[in-house]
Amino acid sequence: MRTSPTGIDGARLDLAGTRSFTAPGAGPTRRAAIGAYLTDWLDQLWAQATDGQALTGVALAAVGSLGRGDSGPLSDIDLVLLHDGRSLPAERLTTLADRVWYPIWDANVRLDHSVRTLAQCRAIASADLSAAVGLLDVAPIAGDREFVAAIRSTLAHDWRAQARKRLPQLVDSLRERHDRHGELAQSIEPDLKEARGGLRDMTVLRALVAAWLTDRPHGEVDEAYARLLDVRDALQVVTGRGRDRLGREDHDAVAALLGYSDADDLMTMVSRSGRTLAYALDATMRRAGQSQRARTLRVGPRRPTMVGLGYGVFEHDGEAVLGAAPSADVTQPIRAAVVAARAGLALSPQTLANLAEVGDLSTPWPELARDLFTDLLATGAGLPAVWAGLTQAGLVARWLPEWGAVDSRPQRNPIHRHTVDRHLIQTVVEASAFVREVARPDLLLLAALLHDIGKVAGAHDHSVTGAKIARSVLARMGVADADAEIVVRLVREHLTLMELATRRDLEDPATATAAWAAAGEDPDVFDLLRYLSIADAKAAGSLSWNDWRAKLFEQLCVEVNRTGRTRTRPDAAPDVVELPDEVLTQLAVGEPVVEVSEIDGAYRIAVFDRDRLGLFADTAGLFAAQGLTVRTAVLHTLDAVAANEWIVEVPGSDAPSASRLALGLAGLARGERAPLAALERRRAYARPAAAAVAAGMPTRAFVLPDAASDATVLEVRTRDRLGLLHDLGRCFAKAGLTVRSAHIATYAGQTLDTFYLTEASGAMLSPPRVAATVAAIIDSCDS
């Protein structure tokens, strides 16, 4: 028998010599050597215990890491003495067990042991889920190997036969374990084995495959698992203990042993590996559930159940999938992500793989791509799962190359609960709750996504570094210079308000002055900075945002608001000075004029028509009925002629038909409702999803005093949805109000619509009429 002067553990540590941690491919070789050493040692113990006799129907088998071939330098040994209940009498079996177990204990090796027949193995596997999963890895060590193989085959058959019952149990067990041990990718002191994305999750993946419910991902998943095993091995070497929790005090030593430049690089790798395993487990669990549902007895062939979500994306078995092969449209991956996130679904792995084949965005991005990207950021709780899939597919790195520097980067500040990248996404989620509190929700969400982008290696002040990086990102995205300057300011100053609130005298006027200066003395920018600060603090965790800090922060904002701040509001659309003769000729005979032209991935639709009550509602309704999404619009009226410009996007590749739109408007003017029939059908389908997204975020509608001297100006902030402008137009028409001018804008899925309203006589609205109109607007938007 091989021996070591330092015992079995010392021999295992010798086999895991420090040089073996940095050599290429050393991990599997090291673990194979440790496994071979233990197997050889146990085989010799068996030979001594049996006095060299060849026993039939009796064997020593391993489960756990030794059974899987993943033994670490100081891993426990899990052994099962298997017997058929007939080959040896009970007394001799007990003696044999003692002769095997005691030498192991004498060697100070941690041992988990049992003595079982096949019937007992089946019984405990039936009663104990974790035991059932563990026994799937049972491997022969010594004795009757064919007997062990037969038991393993029987247990695997039982596992497959009970898959329908076991899968829900496995889901519950995973949820309980993950809740208890947290997420490996987001922990600074992760449990490498039990946490979500840890080593035990690979055992679950293998169990799902053994149930013949699904295959599992390979490649990156296997590499991630091997890297986590390397970390576990290094942790056991540097601590001299069979530990699985990577404590802060061990980061530097483990990083050095594995050849990483510092502890942050180590933890970045650990986080990415855990995220890869967790993502693979989620996807494989969904595949397993789909496979199990497919086995339900049916009459006739099974057809997949596909629920349309819009833009060629469908819900299938709890995932978002493409209904056809990807198109050449470079914005399709972003649009598919928006649709999936709004529905609260993850994109299927195959769909992500297909979307990754779509070409790259141009530089600068098309305007439609920017709009869709901020729409994605506005999806709230649906964003993290979709963003994780986009990250795994490599799409985020293609859109935002700077993301790689913060991807999975640890944060050692105790107030933070997430890695830098996950904190950024959580800040976006928190900021999405405030999109109706600010004039430019798209800028708020972009700032939330980029506010900590400067937390890279070597950064002295991450706010200053981040502002420089953000400027580069925004330039590539094609964000307008004025908007980019606002986002850069928000990134640079995102800590200022909270620091002033918690570290300065709030009764000193200089404190409010400093806060006001941080926003460039612009009230809209101050609102953006205010809600970015709150979202950042909430995303960090309870240590960063609590009742005391919230109270101080609110007090600071009140002090800033005491100053006389004025806001710049959009002026009424300018009067149309002159219309082409051909337009006037058609209008004279009662025919509307519609002109369509393509601009930067979207379409400009100019509509000229005789002004009438309800024209705004009819035009917006006709667009919605034909599947057009309004991005912006400017409406104006002169001498009873409406001249309106709409910027829309279309769901397919065909341009809107000008003649079809003109015919629809003419029909609506005559009182026909057929042109809007398709809108009602679309509404019936879209309303359930819309209600789910809008829950908990009521519409905001309010008067802008002194914005105009000859009209009542109302601003409406709500979630954009199918037929929204049609509903608003009907609301005005029912009240007998004239839309003299309007500015329609959609930012990050939220509307910022400003209406200049008058009575039919041209008079401004009285206070009671204003109150009634605001109430009607809110009811119309939230219904």
Q: What is the pLDDT of residues 584-616, one digit of tens each?
A: 777 777 788 899 998 877 889 988 888 888 888
Q: DSSP E strands: which ranges in 340-432?
A: 346-347
pLDDT at 5 over 50: no
pLDDT digits (tens, 9 = 90+) for 456-510: 988 889 999 999 999 999 999 999 999 999 999 999 999 999 999 998 988 888 9
Tokens standing for residue 563: 């100053």
Torsion angles phi and psi, residue 381, rounded to 5: -65, -20
Rounded-to-integer distance, Cα 160 and Cα 149, Å? 17
DSSP category for residue 563: S
DSSP string, 468-521: HHHHHHHHHHT--HHHHHHHHHHHHTTTHHHHHHHHS-TTSHHHHHHHHHHTTT
Residue 117 C-alpha from the chain's centroid = 47
CB 488 within 8 A of CB 519: no
At residue 652 the predicted structure's pLDDT band, cuts being 50, 70 and 90, is low
CB-facing half-sphere around the CA of 145: CA atoms within 13 A: 5
CB 368 within 8 A of CB 601: yes
Residue 357 CB neighbours (<10 A): 9
CB 744 within 8 A of CB 623: no
What's the average model confidence in pLDDT over 294-302?
52
CB 423 within 8 A of CB 416: yes
- CA dist 698 to 326, 538, 688, 718, 779, Å? 36, 21, 16, 7, 10
pLDDT at 575 over 70: no
H/E stretch holding 287 reads helix 263-294
Tokens standing for residue 273: 């590996």
- CA dist 385 to 282, 345, 359, 390, 578, Å? 10, 8, 23, 9, 52
Residue 87: strand, helix, or coil: coil
H/E stretch holding 193 reads none
What percent of the chain is predicted at pLDDT more than 70?
Answer: 93
C-alpha closest to that of 121 among 89, 152, 147, 165: 152
At residue 295 the predicted structure's pLDDT band, cuts being 50, 70 and 90, is low
Tokens standing for residue 142: 């010594």
CB 174 within 8 A of CB 168: no
C-alpha closest to that of 226 among 287, 280, 270, 169: 270
At residue 417 the predicted structure's pLDDT band, cuts being 50, 70 and 90, is confident
CB 410 within 8 A of CB 188: yes
Q: Spell out the residues 6+ positions from residue 647 whose beta carbon is closer than 8 angstroms to its own.
A: 599, 602, 603, 604, 605, 630, 631, 632, 633
At residue 518 the predicted structure's pLDDT band, cuts being 50, 70 and 90, is very high
CB 601 within 8 A of CB 621: no
What's the average model confidence in pLDDT over 277-306?
72
CATH number for the domain formed by residue range(s) 7-161: 3.30.460.10
β-bridge pairing 313-316 and 307-310: antiparallel
pLDDT at 718 over 50: yes
At residue 80 the predicted structure's pLDDT band, cuts being 50, 70 and 90, is very high
First-residue to last-residue Cα distance in the chain: 80
Residue of higher predicted confidence among 326 and 60: 60
At residue 683 the predicted structure's pLDDT band, cuts being 50, 70 and 90, is confident
Rounded-to-integer distance, Cα 690 and Cα 649, Å? 19
H/E stretch holding 308 reads strand 307-310
pLDDT of residue 346: 92
How many contiguous H segments (helices) and E segments (strands) does the chain have?
A: 31, 16
> Looking at the domain 165-294, which fold is it?
Four Helix Bundle (Hemerythrin (Met), subunit A) (1.20.120)
CB 236 within 8 A of CB 219: no
Domain ranges in the chain? 7-161, 165-294, 306-399, 415-426+440-560, 581-782
pLDDT of residue 684: 66
Tokens standing for residue 436: 């109706």
DSSP string, 594-608: EEEEEETTEEEEEEE
pLDDT digits (tens, 9 = 90+) for 8-25: 888 888 888 777 787 777
pLDDT of residue 3: 39
pLDDT of residue 615: 86
CB 621 within 8 A of CB 679: yes
Residue 189: strand, helix, or coil: coil
Which residues does residue 320 pair with via DSSP β-bridges, in sequence order?
315, 347
Rounded-to-integer distance, Cα 245 and Cα 419, Å? 18
Largest CA distance in the chain: 112
CB 738 within 8 A of CB 757: yes
CB-facing half-sphere around the CA of 756: CA atoms within 13 A: 21
Residue 730: strand, helix, or coil: helix
pLDDT of residue 1: 35
Rounded-to-integer distance, Cα 222 and Cα 25, Å? 13
- Torsion, Cα of 105, 107, 109, 112 (10° steps): -30
Return the minimum-mean-pLDDT range out of 283-297, 482-496, 526-540: 283-297
C-alpha closest to that of 447 among 486, 403, 498: 486
What's the average model confidence in pLDDT over 160-176?
88
Residue 19: strand, helix, or coil: helix
What's the full length of the chain, in residues? 783
Q: Spell out the residues 6+ positions from residue 444 whose beta carbon is closer than 8 angstroms to its own.
A: 431, 434, 435, 438, 490, 528, 531, 532, 748
What's the average model confidence in pLDDT over 133-143?
93
H/E stretch holding 310 reads strand 307-310
Range ranked top by mean pLDDT from 30-34, 466-470, 563-567: 466-470
Tokens standing for residue 2: 């091989």
pLDDT of residue 339: 93
Arithmetic mean of pLDDT over the chain: 87
